[in-house]
A and B are shown apart, each in its own frame.
Chain A
Amino acid sequence: MKFIRNTFDKYKPLFDKGGKLEKFAPGFNAFDTLLFVPNHTTKQGAHIRDGVDLKRVMITVVLALIPALIFGMWNVGFQHFSQLGEAGSFVDYLIYGSIKFLPMVAVSYGVGLGIEFAFGIFRGHEINEGYLVSGMLIPLIMPIDLPLWMLGVSVAFAVLIGKEAFGGTGMNILNPALVARAFAFFSYAPSMSGDKVWVADAASIDAISGETILGSLAAGKEAGYSVLDMFLGYIPGSVGETSVLMILIGAAFLLFTGIASWRIMVSATIGGAVMGLIFNSFGVNALMDFPWWQHLLVGGFAFGVVFMATDPVSAAQTDKGKWIYGFLIGFIAIMIRVFNGAYPEGMMMAILLMNVFAPTIDHYVVEGNIKRRKNRQKNNLETA
């Protein structure tokens, strides 16, 4: 540790004002503060400064993603081999999965951070660390067989239009990871939906069927997987979203560290359950008949609720607003996927939609609060 600190201190003057490499200071500082707690101190007034800065928060979310990530890589191998009817060991699956998945992570971080660095240096502001999480989320919500260049284009679009156009981290109105997915979904539909993309190499090997549960339900067939499979995640799907168990471990970690909002998680689950119950009571087609609690286990619902809906930037800020925001996400997500079988991505659309409405919700919550307090004051004056 001491050695790294010393190295940083040795080269720091180069990047200071007037130094040779002043231009690249944002990049240097980003690495420095990533590895060490920054030693900034407040110069005016009384402030309490916590060691937990934005980077610590982001790293915590990445840590919470690790269980889903490792399981996702294993599942990529497992789905591939088991659909082919071949047996493999735990390590085989994991190695196959990582060979498929790690390039996606590399592309996502490479393209995304490259753009962030370029903007940081060009505009002369500090590099925002928000991309640490987005860069990990993006490959986790993509199908494993997505060509890497498509992933790169989607990442570039998400960072440029989803974030930098609005002013960078903390200013974006939409969740950047979902912007990337929505862009890929509408741009390269054949590579993002259908039966052939969710299991590695399904497109080139006929033996693999690779249908997702929502896909087969939309086609009017049985789900074809047991409830335990759905919960543990032994099903085809985007890389990181299949295992509800692993996502719950991540959720517990996020809630324990106090980073994600439990209000959003709870209310989104309730919202999904309510809509599921409504559909169950009609039960016209296979998707409507699908038990409401199983709706919560498939189609990235859990992943969206835990890691996407709770994004502190694009979510509602007020406590009451969070309840409304979360509830509507769950409610609309199930509605979209049932009413339009071609859009099993209901979760993605619901979160993006509510991202747009989050400021409106907050506005009315705050207005309502002001009104109530005014009334109370008036009543107090009258009675006094």
Chain B
Amino acid sequence: MAEEKEALFSKKNRALLSDPLNDNNPISVQVLGICSALAITVQLKPALVMSIAVLFVVIASNVIVSLIRNLIPSRIRIIVQLLIVASLVILVDQVLKAYAYDVSKELSVFVGLIITNCIVMGRLEAFALANGPWKSFLDGVGNGAGYALILVLVAFFRELLGSGKLFGFEVLGHKAKDIADSTGLYALGYENNGFMLLSPMALIVVGIIIWFQRSKNRKLIED
């Protein structure tokens, strides 16, 4: 078979990994999975955990569906896919509850909502059903990483400007009630931007990222 003769990291396969990072990013180009990008990007830590969770679910479900793709009757394929994704999400949820309870509480319903994350279903429908497991694995890594990239970027700006912290660490100095006791930027009269903590600002930050990306990446410019 032609598929097996192809090198593991042929040019085509490498494109599967790199495309979703920039040219075909699930969030900034396809505009999928926006809801979770708005909801859990107030701080970096939950955003990172969420990214890892989605990364795991996309990869695992992509590989599983790809393995059994010839056994799934096409009429009920959505239900089968949902079943696989849902089982994986429950797995993630239980692991989070056991080992990272705080973060799991912060993410609350959004872990469960990975099931409905358009990126996961989108990749299954568009890619895993038609390609072999190795390619599907690469596709899952690429798309999961593309999602993670934007999530972490947005969370970086929102946490830095919104609460002056990164991973909960006060990088801009300490803000005390009295300005005389404050340190760092806060001693100069700097204040956190409360708007950054609200969801609309996440949308605007994503918008700015898209703006920036499109002005740099000539391929994305439409007529």
- Interface, chain A (partner B; CB < 8 A): 147, 149-150, 153, 161, 165, 183, 186-191
Contact = CB atoms under 8 A, between A and B. Distances in A.
A187 B196 CA distance: 7
5 contacts: A147-B189, A161-B207, A186-B194, A187-B196, A189-B194
B82 interface: no
B202 to A, nearest CB: 13
B195 A186 contact: yes
4 A-B pairs with the lowest CB-CB distances in the bound complex, closest first: A187-B195, A186-B195, A187-B193, A187-B194
Contact of A191 (B191, B195, B196, B204): B191
Contacts of B207: 161, 165
Interface in B168-223: 189-191, 193-196, 198, 204, 207-208, 211
Nearest to A164: B211
Contacts of B191: 147, 150, 188, 190-191
A276 B158 CA distance: 40
Name A's interface SS. Answer: helix
Given A150-B191, A189-B194, 9 more contacts: A149-B190, A161-B207, A161-B208, A183-B195, A186-B195, A187-B195, A187-B196, A188-B194, A190-B191
Contacts of A149: 189-190
Contacts of A189: 194
Contacts of A183: 195
B211 A165 contact: yes
Interface string B123-151: 00000000000000000000000000000
B215 to A, nearest CB: 10
A187 B193 CA distance: 5
Contacts of A186: 194-195, 198
B204 A161 contact: yes
A191 B193 CA distance: 11
A195 B198 CA distance: 24
B4 to A, nearest CB: 49
Contacts of A161: 204, 207-208
Contacts of A188: 191, 193-194
Contacts of A150: 191
A149 B204 CA distance: 21
A29 B190 CA distance: 38
A33 B196 CA distance: 39
B161 to A, nearest CB: 9
Nearest to A160: B208
A165 B215 CA distance: 12
Nearest to B161: A187
B145 to A, nearest CB: 28
A183 B193 CA distance: 9
Nearest to A147: B189
A95 to B, nearest CB: 25
Nearest to A186: B195
Contacts of B194: 186-189
Nearest to B193: A187
Contacts of B190: 149
Nearest to A188: B191
Contacts of A147: 189, 191
